Structure 1
Amino acid sequence: MMKLTPNLRIFLFGFTSFLLTVSTADAQAPDPNDLARKIDSVLALDEELVLQAAYDLTRSYIRAEDPLAVHRMFDSITDAPAIELSSNLNFAPFYLRKGDTKNSLALRKRSLELAEMVENDPKIFDALMSLSSHYINVAKADSAALYTNRAEAVLVRNKDRFYDSYEMVYRMRADIAHILGNYKQQGEYLEKAWEVIADNPNHPRRGFLLFLITDFFRQTDDLDKLAYFTEELSAYYKEKTINTPDFHLPIDQILLGDYSDKAVANLERIVRKSDSLNNFNALSVCTIALSRAYLKNGEPEKAIPYLKNAIKRLKDANYLYSNTGERQMLREIYLATDNYKGAYEILMDQKIMEDSLRNSEILSKIADYEVKYQTQQKELELQQTAANKKILTSLLWAGGIVLLLVLYFLYKNRQKNKKLAKQKQLLETTLDEKNVLLKEIHHRVKNSFQIVSSLLYLQSESIDDKEAQLAIKEAQNRVRSMVLIHQKLYNKDQLVGINTKEYFEDLTRDIFESHQFSNKPIRYATDIKPMVLDIETITPIGLILNELITNVLKHAFPEVDDQSEMQLRFDKKGDALVLELQDNGQGMPEEVAESSFGIKLMKALSKKLKADLTFKPGPKQGTLASLEITKFNLLG
């Protein structure tokens, strides 16, 4: 039989339970009121955060002086599933260390019930792993295998969510193989566990697993694998700072096999401390290490009381996983002291115990569990395959329907586009025809106005009365303001609007050229903001502007000199258009002839534009005429 001892089991507890308690003063029992407030804070969190927060809260007290008292305190404060689940998972191992296997098992099973009740797969997995760990520690390989299989089934359902957890499953299977004495399979499972996390340098159990693997291959004398994993372990710890209590087995001592007097004294102290704290993992490892040190140093008899104590303590606590290691070591010590009777008795005792752990009934159960598990996995895979096929079929049908709909809408859209293209072509043809007609209409209107203007001119030539001639000339000028509008519409592509800057400047120039009453011209300046107004707006504004400019030319300057000037401004201010005409002439008379045709015409046109026409003295002299228009149609 291969000589194997789980020398590094101390690190299982070290990495999963914050190592050993440094001293009983490390953590005090919580105040019940303070703990109740913390629990209330956790339970007030969102549903998806409660489980993790509850786990963190309960775990923060596992280093208390009396963890079991803290567990009872949690239990008395609340029965909330999240708190109870987390509390049971974190404190169940302490009941096992006290030898209370019944309560340890009950708490773990209750954790599984709660995890299944809240339907949280990560916590279901944790509870199943906790149950598997319990049965491994009491060396019940069949039950450990059952719960390990169930835990792996959870991972199969969540393969993409927490794949790294396969490392725990394979490590549990390695421990089961160790209990059954199948050391080849133990090594295979340890290597499988390593394959899972090898590419994850930050995995929390990386160092612990490397310790287990290195120790395994050291004991099996597999030098190639030992060299490889020792190198991995050394590289890992070069990047880490390990803080362990002073009564822990030093890491360099494990790796180098230091058996100096100082190391032996340190081991003796660790054994006593582990024994007093019921830390059976540490007690087992350190007792075996201490015994080897005594054997190496030629003092094997000193190891006997330590080994007997460890065997008894582990047996009384039903903590059987490591018990074969102590018996095997005691047999070596008896042989070294020539106590062959003692060696024979402990060998028989060890054999009886191993036979009880590895009897045919247990092996049959494990084989049956494996078959059932494999069958279940196949069924799950088949169900998953069927579900995937069903989903794929549904997707294909849905895709086909969507494709048909797309093709249908593309066809309808194409037909619609064809129809729209025809309508567009028809509209463009109609629009072209309309534009031609509009141009023709504007041309004819312009010609008609031109005829009227010519008739007025001929009429004025046959009249000797200057007042009559002037009246006809003013009428001719009004007609010309409208001729100019239609002329611009006829010559432009835009047939419905007039640019104010072009029109007002051209109109002003025409009026000045046709109404020059003095040999000396009056200077004028324009400041017109360009904008496009429709015919209905621009026509009355043009007629009003014609009247205003004509009045300036007729009445503003009795004598024209170099200072005589008129300014025309047009802009948009707020919601209104403002036309201003200012001169520096003699100014308006105090009483304006309201009955004159020009004034009546401007008021009538202003009313049509909903405009306000005002006259007031200019800033220095002359007159400022202002037309504020509120009804207009701005095209651009």
Structure 2
Amino acid sequence: MKRRFSERLIKKYFLNNKYIAIKFSLFYLVIALVATVFINKLFFDPTSDINNGNVISFNFIFLFLFFTVIILFLILNYLQNVISKIDKSYKDLKNHEKDRLIPYEFALNNSFDEIFWFTIDAKIVYINDAACKSLGYKKEELLGKYLEVIDPNFTRESAIQVMFKIKNTPNFILETIQRKKNGDVFPVEVSGHSFNHQGQIYICAFGRDLTQRREINRQIKDINSQLQKSLDEKEILIKEVHHRVKNNMEIISSLLAMQLRRAKDDEIKYILKQSMSRINTMALVHEFLYLGENLAHINLQDYIVRLVQDIKELYISQNTDLTVDLHIDELIFSTNRCIQIGMILHELCVNALKYAFKEDRENLLCIHIKDLEENIHIKIRDNGDGIKDINSLYKSESIGMQLIHSIVEDQLDGTIEFINNNGLECNIIFSKKEENY
């Protein structure tokens, strides 16, 4: 018990830095007193006549030592207080810095991505928890190891080369593989950046496991393949529908042609010819959809060129000289809109061919379709004699004019104007935007 008490006493009072000033002062005093007594006995004779002087000298030395010990104690105590304050400030700063770094350490260790710090020779000096979990290693097993331990694509030389490449390449990205502790490999995407810390260059690399992403991409690719297959099948079916509609319209047109050949009355022949032409105008749209790559929209210019050519072949004799001036902006319209525009052009062109053009002169038909950003402007003009009563065109009861007014005003919600301009000119304006029904 006495031994244990003595050990606790020594640790408390002699090995504790808290009492270092007292310990050094007492130690100094004891040594000084022992030395003084020893010197006094060695150099001073007790039988000497100057014994009183020796006593005075000894008392002076004792007082000097006593005050020296006090001064030494004060100095050591002050220094100890200063050192304690410095030590406390250092610990407070260290604790504060540690508290400040806790969120960053938490973010690094709980990041979904692997995070590594490498030296310029590809030695691992930091690794986060996500990387250890992915690779199956403990941190101490990888710290101090080199890149090629976890990435079989690199050798000692190529690992150093890629570190320099990351250092000299902003936003460096690489797809490679990593090897787990059990030998399994998995694909990763690595992005790297260099930074300078305390005068030394480090490489910070972020690795993301691509296994899940590649599996998702594979599934998306399979889904897209199935969708494309289904889309191709539907495209074939839709084209077949357009082909059949076109064929059915041609059958109807052929039946009308048979009736046309048997008809005797010129008025009936003209009516049948007009009906055939109107059917052909609609059938032509389905033909473009069937032969084209786009099943929803048609290039208006291609459609109008073909439509005008068919109308000329049907209504113009070989003896009639006709020049067609076509200026059509690049416009893509739906099936419904093309049929609407086609029917309007058909009726206006047929009227011009019927009433304005003659065999004994040069005939001109102008068809201009302009894109006015928000609106479409259609102008059709012939070089005939024009018409005296323009207003009669707005009140005409003919099927053709009623069809034109119905389409422009009711379906296109547009305006139509007829004027005499070295012939009859028709201007139609309607919104470019198509309404969805």
Q: TM above 0.5, one fold?
A: yes
Task: Name 1:441's counterpart in structure 2.
Answer: 241
Structure 2 counterpart of 1:608, from 411, 419, 422: 411
Of 491, 511, 515, which aligns to 2:315? 515
1:353 is matched with none
- Matched AA of 2:411: K
SS in structure 2 at match of 1:435 = helix
Question: Structure 2: which amino acid aligns with 1:595?
Answer: E
Q: Which residue of 1 aligns with 2:297?
A: 497
1:526 match: secondary structure? strand
Quote the residue 1:578 is aligned against. Answer: 377
Q: How far apart are 1:487 and its partner, in Å? A: 1.0
For residue 633 of structure 1, what is the amino acid of its counterpart?
A: E
Instruction: Please name the residue that 1:370 is paired with.
Output: 79
Is this contact kept in 2: 1:516–1:553, CA < 8 A? yes
Work out whether residues 611 and 631 of structure 1, in 8 Å CA contact, stay in contact via their aligned partners in 2.
no
- Partner of residue 70, structure 1: none
Give matches, 1:536-555, under 5 Å.
Answer: 536-555=336-355
The letter of the residue matching 1:505 is V
Matches within 5 A, 1:209-224: none
Which residue number in structure 2 is paired with residue 599 of structure 1?
401
* Count of aligned residue pairs for this structure pair: 276
Query: Aligned-pair distance for 1:505?
Result: 1.2
> Offset at 1:467?
1.5
Please state which structure has a larger fraction of its residues in helix. Answer: 1
How far 1:429 sits from its partner (Å)? 2.0
Q: Deviations over 1:555-601 (max 9, x none)?
A: 01345413x21111001224211111011111024134611111111
What SS class does the counterpart of residue 368 from structure 2 fall into? strand
Distance in 2 between residues matched to 1:634 and 1:421, nearest whole Å: 35
* 2: CA distance, partners of 1:365 / 1:479: 120
Aligned-partner Cα distance in 2 for 1:595–1:631: 29
Secondary structure at 1:610's aligned position in 2? coil
Change (3 A) 1:397 1:542: same
Corresponding residue for 1:402? 111
Partner of 1:124: none
Q: 2: CA distance between counterparts of 1:559 and 1:492? A: 37
- Partners of 2:435 and 2:376 in 1: CA distance: 10
Paired residue secondary structure (1:402): coil
How do residues 444-483 of structure 1 correspond to structure 2 at under 5 angstroms? 444-483=244-283
TM-aligned CA deviation for residue 454 of structure 1: 1.2
* 1:577–1:630 contact (8 Å) kept in structure 2: yes
Greater shift, 429-438 or 517-526, is seen at 517-526
CA contact (8 A) 1:478 1:546 kept: yes
Alignment pair present for 1:526 and 2:326: yes
Asked if the contact 2:320/2:358 (under 8 Å) is kept, the reply is: no
CA distance in 2, matches of 1:589, 1:419: 71
Q: The residue matched to 2:387 in structure 1 has which SS?
A: coil
Q: CA deviation at 1:616?
A: 1.1
CA deviation vs aligned residue, 1:65-97 (integer Å, no higher than 9, x gap): xxxxxxxxxxxxxxxxxxxxxxxxxxxxxxxxx
Alignment partner of 1:495: what SS? Answer: coil
With over 3 angstroms needed to count, the CA separation of the structure-2 counterparts of 1:560 and 1:381, relative to structure 1, is farther
Question: Match of 1:403, SS?
Answer: coil
**Corresponding residue for 2:62?**
none
User: Contact 2:344/2:407 (CA < 8 Å) preserved in 1?
Assistant: yes
Tell me the equivalent position of 1:302: none
Q: Secondary structure at the match of 1:578?
A: strand
Q: How many Å apart are 1:451 and its aligned residue?
A: 1.0
Aligned twin of 1:622: 423
Q: Tell whether the 8 Å contact from 1:527 to 1:569 is kept in structure 2 after alignment.
A: yes
Residue aligning to 2:64: none
Separation (CA, whole Å) in 2 of partners of 1:479 and 1:600:
17
- TM (normalized to structure 2)? 0.57
Q: Flag structure 1 segments of 5+ consecutive residues without an equivalent.
A: 1-357
Distance 1:634 1:363 in 2: 102
Aligned partner of residue 582 in structure 1, secondary structure: strand
Change (3 A) 1:560 1:549: farther
Unaligned runs of at least 5 residues, structure 2: 1-66, 115-129, 135-207
Mapping of 1:323-342 within 5 angstroms?
none
Q: Given residue 399 of structure 1, which amino acid in structure 2 is its aligned partner?
A: L
Task: Please state whether the residue corresponding to 2:110 is helix, strand or coil.
Answer: helix
- CA drift at 1:413: 6.0
User: CA offsets per residue over residues 76-126 of structure 1, 9 Å max, x none?
Assistant: xxxxxxxxxxxxxxxxxxxxxxxxxxxxxxxxxxxxxxxxxxxxxxxxxxx
Q: 1:481·1:542 contact (CA, 8 Å) conserved in 2?
A: yes
Deviation per CA, 1:462-516, whole angstroms, max 9, x where unpaired? 1121211111111111111112111111111111111011111111111112211
Distance 2:85 2:99 in 1: 21
Deviation at 1:399, TM superposition (A): 2.0
Residues of 2 paired with 1:421 and 1:369: CA distance? 78
| Mean Cα deviation higher: 410-419 or 531-540 | 410-419
Deviation (angstroms), 1:520: 2.6
Shift of 1:384: 3.3
